[in-house]
């Protein structure tokens, strides 16, 4: 009963904050900062070219854009498509080729080492931005000096490939247009997504050395690089906000196996970074900012979800054995109720009946097929396998000299001005 009461209070709190959300207005062209966009890729094939094209056709001054594509030892033709992107946009696109698959974190570090912009933006190689996305994404940095990082709005690119992408579209809308909108009000967005994030360069650079060699249980970390960076920014006393109109479309798994692996990777990262956040939020991490109290409260609710909620699942499994029929009725009722809010959020944001059509199936899909993933993530949180990309289970330690050597053999086109 007490757990239900805490859940209701948390929901009311999130609704109240989400209703207060206001995005930062887009800047005029003259005030836009220079931007370095790092796109790490591993076995992405032709999609990398579409990603670069979406960036270069943005309504953003090209003379202020630097695009750095990092091939992380792909075994397919990803490098060939990167070269094609450079040929199409030679004044803006730089290429880095890692000698072997070294992991996404290492690939990002290679890009950061070459970046020269006032704002660093990371985009996944299976994602595409809308024309005004970059303008919206970087605007908070100029409007508010307290902002250290900005989270983009992730939606699904491949919705026509089956039921799972459609269900994930509803899930993403709830995660971004409800949860992150509320967190943005107090500058405590807990995760800037790998699909699209931005960082104030001068604030990020001092944090990179520690992030690159992060470990968990004495093992090098090779997952959760986006959540880890977000924690570092918050711990440094800076705000992390969400820009609703900075939309990125990203590909999601279309089969259960791929979805299971993606969610398990997220669950393991969630365990690690919740512990990291819990370790600093009760100190003086953000002075003269009332939002720090709300960040602390969020951290507490995350720990409750990670412990009591998962323990409650174990109790439900026992109850299912003792009273199967009654327990199934309660679970089905809970699935229906939990589908209401995502459906409302999607309807409010995008209209139509799409949210209702796919929120309920996803709720039951989670109940039957995916409920165990957060629980298993706790027990296997020390594992760092990428799962969906075939990356090595052990992440290499970052060595700046090795990054420079890896990129030295590749022609680095000089960034020069081009008419906006």
Pick the CATH number of 2-292+391-407 from 3.20.20.105, 3.30.70.580, 3.90.550.10, 3.50.50.60: 3.90.550.10
Residue 30 burial (C-beta neighbours within 10 Å; 0-12, 13-18, 19+): exposed
pLDDT at 7: 75
Confidence of residue 185 (pLDDT cuts 50, 70, 90): very high
HEC per residue, the chain? CHHHHHHHHHHHHHHHHHHCCCCCCCCCHHHCCCEEEEEEECCCCCHHHHHHHHHHCCCCCHHHEEEEEEECCCCCCHHHHHHHHHHHCCCCEEEEECCCCCCHHHHHHHHHHHCCCCEEEEECCCEEECCCHHHHHHHHHHHCCCEEEEEEEEEECCHHHCHHHHHHHHHHHHHHHHHHHHHHHCCECCCCCCCEEEEEHHHHHHHHHHHHCCEECCEECCCCHHHHHHHHHHHCCCEEEEEEEEEEEECCCCCHHHHHHHHHHHHHHHHHHHHHHHHHCCCCCCCCCCHHHHHHHHHHHHHHHHHHHHHHHHHHHHHHHHCHHHHHHHHHHHHHHHHHHHHHHHHHHHCCCHHHHHHHHHHHHHHHHHCCHHHHHHHCCCCCCCCCCCCCCCCCCCCHHHHHHHHHCCCCCCCCCCCC
pLDDT at 133: 98
Phi and psi at 283, nearest 5°, equal: -95, -170
* Percent above pLDDT 90 for the chain: 80
Express each pLDDT in 39-89 by its tens digit.
999 999 999 999 999 999 999 999 999 999 999 999 999 999 999 999 999
Can you tell me the mean pLDDT for 337-355? 96
| Pairing label, strands 196-200, 119-123 | antiparallel
Q: Where are the domains positioned within the chain?
A: 2-292+391-407
Confidence of residue 3 (pLDDT cuts 50, 70, 90): low
* Percent above pLDDT 70 for the chain: 91
Phi and psi at 331, nearest 5°, equal: -65, -40
Confidence of residue 10 (pLDDT cuts 50, 70, 90): confident
Express each pLDDT in 301-310 by its tens digit.
889 888 988 9
Confidence of residue 210 (pLDDT cuts 50, 70, 90): very high
CA–CA dist 360, 362 (Å, integer):
5
pLDDT at 389: 54
Chain mean position to CA 370: 20
417 pLDDT above the threshold of 90: no
CA–CA dist 382, 377 (Å, integer):
9
pTM: 0.89
pLDDT at 415: 27
Phi and psi at 45, nearest 5°, equal: 65, -140
Residue carrying structure tokens 């409650």: 312
Residue carrying structure tokens 């983009």: 152
């Amino acid at each position: 009963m007490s757990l239900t009461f805490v859940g209701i209070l948390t929901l009311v709190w999130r609704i109240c904050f989400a209703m207060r959300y206001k995005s930062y207005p887009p800047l005029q062209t003259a005030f836009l900062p220079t931007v370095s966009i790092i796109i790490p890729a591993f076995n992405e094939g032709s999609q990398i070219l579409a990603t670069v094209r979406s960036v270069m056709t943005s309504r953003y001054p090209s003379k202020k854009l630097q695009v750095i594509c990092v091939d992380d030892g792909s075994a397919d033709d990803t490098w060939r498509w990167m070269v094609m992107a450079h040929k199409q946009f030679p004044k803006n696109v730089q290429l880095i080729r890692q000698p072997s698959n070294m992991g996404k974190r290492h690939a990002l570090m290679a890009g950061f080492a070459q970046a020269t912009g006032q704002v660093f933006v990371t985009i996944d190689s299976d994602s595409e931005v809308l024309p005004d996305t970059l303008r919206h994404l970087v605007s908070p940095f100029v409007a508010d000096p307290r902002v250290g990082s900005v989270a983009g709005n992730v939606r699904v690119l491949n919705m026509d490939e089956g039921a799972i992408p459609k269900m994930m579209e509803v899930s993403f809308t709830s995660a971004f247009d409800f949860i992150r909108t509320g967190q943005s009000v107090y500058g405590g967005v807990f995760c800037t997504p790998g699909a699209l994030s931005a960082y104030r360069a001068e604030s990020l650079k001092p944090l990179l050395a520690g992030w690159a060699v992060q470990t968990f249980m004495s093992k090098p970390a090779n997952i959760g690089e986006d959540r880890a960076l977000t924690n570092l920014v918050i711990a440094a006393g800076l705000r992390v906000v969400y820009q609703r109109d900075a939309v990125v479309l990203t590909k999601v798994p279309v089969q259960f196996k791929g979805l299971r692996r993606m969610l398990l990777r997220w669950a393991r990262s969630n365990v690690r970074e919740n512990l990291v956040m819990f370790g600093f939020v009760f100190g003086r991490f953000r002075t003269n900012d009332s939002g720090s109290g709300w960040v602390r409260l969020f951290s507490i609710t995350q720990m409750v979800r990670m412990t009591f909620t998962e323990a409650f699942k174990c109790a439900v499994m026992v109850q299912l054995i003792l009273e199967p029929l009654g327990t199934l009725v309660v679970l089905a009722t809970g699935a229906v109720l939990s589908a209401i809010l995502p459906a409302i959020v999607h309807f409010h944001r995008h209209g139509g009946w799409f949210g209702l059509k796919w929120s309920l199936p996803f709720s039951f899909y989670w109940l039957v097929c995916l409920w165990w993933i957060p629980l298993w993530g706790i027990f296997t949180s020390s594992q760092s396998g990428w799962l969906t990309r075939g990356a090595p289970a052990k992440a290499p330690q970052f060595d700046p000299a090795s990054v420079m050597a890896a990129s030295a053999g590749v022609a680095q086109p000089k960034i020069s001005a081009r008419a906006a």
